[in-house]
Amino acid sequence: MHKKTEHKKNKNEKKKIEELDIDVGLKIAKRGEGALFVVGNIEYKPLVEQEVPPFNAFKNPKLLESLAIMDGAVILDQKGIVKAYGAMVKSNKIFKNFGTRHSAAISASKNGNIVVIISEEDKKIRILKNGKVVMQVDALQKDIEKDVSKAVELLESVGAGTVGAVGAGILAPGLGIALLPGIMIFGSAYYLAKLLRKK
């Protein structure tokens, strides 16, 4: 019983932190700025002196937003505590057709971390798990904020194991499926077909 309760609690915390990062990311993307959030444990090096002590992002999303637009990543734990900002994420390699922020995001999303990357170029938010894009949110879609909670719920039900190739959503958006306006989910053909049959 305890394991099941603990698992549910962890899943709820993960869902809340994903929603928060996407909500803050939408504000950043709409202004045409970029950012990178990493939720989990990652090797990094601070690019700036850490003058702001660790804080709860749920209690101060405005501060999270301000720190996110600095160069480098914002590192949060599973409970939403901001551990570092302006951090250089150690990237294993630069991936072909990707910039340094996207390469860092792909590397950081390995080992069970959740990564939310906000692109200033196309104003899209991409969520990565296990080195793969699992969801993309278009910040320019009208009233997109209303669907964030539903999208995260869907993302959690998809699970990282069903996801397609690295960067599939960036390189070939046709490989994903839009189940909500402005939100693409990426996964294997089998899983997408199964999802469609449920609808």
Residue 162: which CATH number?
3.40.1700.10
pLDDT given at position 30: 93
* pLDDT score, position 94: 60
Q: Closest Cα partner for 184 from 156, 149, 161, 151?
A: 151
Q: What is the pLDDT of residue 118?
A: 93
Distance CA 106, CA 168 (A): 12
Q: Given this model, what pLDDT does residue 161 score?
A: 40
Q: What is the pLDDT of residue 99?
A: 64
Q: What is the predicted pLDDT for the residue at 90? A: 78
**pLDDT score for 15:** 84
Residue 3 has what pLDDT?
A: 65
The total of structural domains in the chain comes to 1
Instruction: Report whether 185 contacts 196 (CB < 8 A).
Output: no
Tens-level pLDDT at each residue, the chain (199 residues): 466 666 566 677 778 998 999 999 999 999 999 999 999 999 899 998 999 999 999 999 999 999 999 989 999 998 999 999 999 987 766 655 556 777 788 888 888 899 999 988 889 998 888 888 888 888 888 888 887 787 777 666 655 444 333 333 333 344 555 656 677 666 543 344 445 445 4
Name the residue range of residue 161's domain: 2-198
Residue 84: predicted pLDDT: 95
User: Which SS3 state, helix, strand or coil, does residue 121 take?
Assistant: coil
- The alpha-helical segments, DSSP class H, found in the chain are 2-30, 61-68, 100-108, 148-158, 168-171, 189-198
Strand 73-76 relative to strand 35-39, pairing: parallel
